[in-house]
Amino acid sequence: MNPLVSLASKNLADVLRLSLLHTSARVALVIYDTESPLAAIIAEAYKSALPEGVFVNFADTTPIDILNRIDGLTAGDLVILVQSSNFRLNEFRLRIELFKRGIKAVEHMHLKRISEDQFVTYIEALAYDKEYFLKHGHFLKSVIDSAQRIVVKGEGAELVYEGGMESAKLNIGDYTGMDNVGGTFPIGEVFSESKDLNQINGEAMLVGFAGMDHTLKQPTPFKVKVADGILTAGADAPAEFMEILDLIRADEEVTVREFGLGFNPAMDEKRIVNDITAYERRKGLHISLGGKHGVYKKAGFNNKKTRYHIDVFVGATEIIADGKVIFKEGEYVLE
């Protein structure tokens, strides 16, 4: 067996057993494509981890057939989507519909964006160490939920959040008590945002951002300024980043919204994957630019009208919550 398939199979078997609590007593439907090498590897790994699974190649079927198969499932069954890009079934929002039916759902998205030299990193990021994820997730949530002042320090920069944060959400593979089981993998993140977006001020060093092609860009670190929650960039910012700011400004302000702390141990500033959705889980802070955030409702922001949620990655040397260091030199400080 291909060593990458073998490693992915082991990691996914742990996810199925320890996170999703899936057993052979329930139906597992895997919809996949082989348009990219990584999608083919992940699909093959699932065939090993799920010998009783039902496997459907997206290229060999029709949306009607897929919907008919889903209609035959019952609450507690499992659907896994292995996608080189993102499967489209007309206006049918597949994962949302699965959750409505009580069906567990796992998505691997945009795998064609991940280059061959990043395959190992992505596959290692699928490993599920339950104790690690729960320990980090619950610690960081407790800190964020109680903090009145968070300071993010970078090289010659300091970004300050005042006045408290919204109740943080966990993405740690533990779905106890939740209506929906599953989501987009890899996992390992706690996210929130400021209760009062106007209370974000200072400067930050950015080390990465989502480019116009939706893949990770890692330029020479550059400084941005935030005043009353609105971000601006100086002359040293890359041209593509300035294009993104102009794109946002054409419709809305460049508002700093999401405050996301990733802690997947397989990814950091050097161990990367090009897909932004996966790379959000890297150890460190990412924030979003633009008015769109579907989780938190804010006065003055209409989720049907706001358009942009652009993820950018902060080069944080320290993160301090109410005077206590919780992140330093690329690692979390857990107490």
Other residues' Cβ atoms within 10 Å of the Cβ of residue 116: 8
| Cβ contact 8:41 at 8 Å | yes
How many degrees, rounded to 5, is the angle at CA 261 between CA 335 and CA 333? 20
Which residues, other chains included, contact 235 with Cβ-Cβ below 8 Å and sequence gap of 6+? none
The phi-psi region of residue 258 (left if phi > 0; otherwise alpha if psi is between -120 and 50; otherwise beta) is beta
What pLDDT is recorded for position 303? Answer: 80
Give the torsion sign (CA, 67, 69, 71, 76). Answer: negative
CATH number for position 70 = 3.40.50
196/103 same-domain check: no
155/270 same-domain check: yes
263/152 same-domain check: yes
pLDDT digits (tens, 9 = 90+) for 31-71: 999 999 999 999 999 999 999 999 999 999 998 899 899 99
258/299 same-domain check: yes
327/201 same-domain check: yes
Mean pLDDT computed over 134-148: 98
10/150 same-domain check: no
Partnered with residue 153 across adjacent β-strands are: 158, 318
| Cβ contact 42:36 at 8 Å | no
pLDDT at residue 97 tops 90: no
Per-residue CA distances from 213 to 5, 71, 253, 276, 310 (Å): 28, 35, 21, 11, 12
30/99 same-domain check: yes
Backbone angles phi, psi at 178, to 5 degrees: -95, 150
pLDDT at residue 231 tops 60: yes
203/72 same-domain check: no
Query: What is the span of the domain harbouring residue 29?
Result: 3-125
Question: What residue spans of the chain are helical by DSSP H?
Answer: 3-14, 37-49, 63-71, 94-100, 119-125, 130-146, 239-249, 276-279
> Which of 84, 100, 125 is the last residue before a domain boundary?
125
What pLDDT is recorded for position 87? Answer: 83
134/169 same-domain check: yes
pLDDT at residue 78 tops 60: yes
103/205 same-domain check: no
Other residues' Cβ atoms within 10 Å of the Cβ of residue 184: 18
| Percent of the chain predicted with pLDDT > 90 | 90
195/102 same-domain check: no
Question: Distance between terminal CA atoms of the chain?
Answer: 42
> Which of 91, 125, 159 is the last residue before a domain boundary?
125
Separation of alpha carbons 308 and 315, rounded Å: 22
What pLDDT is recorded for position 92? Answer: 59
Q: What is the pTM of this model?
A: 0.95
> Which of 65, 99, 125 is the last residue before a domain boundary?
125
> Average pLDDT, whole number, for the chain?
95
pLDDT digits (tens, 9 = 90+) for 248-300: 999 999 999 999 999 999 999 999 999 999 999 999 999 999 999 989 988 88
24/135 same-domain check: no
Partnered with residue 56 across adjacent β-strands are: 31
The domain total for the chain is: 2
Rg of the chain's alpha carbons, rounded to an integer? 20
Which tokens is 30 given? Answer: 């895997």
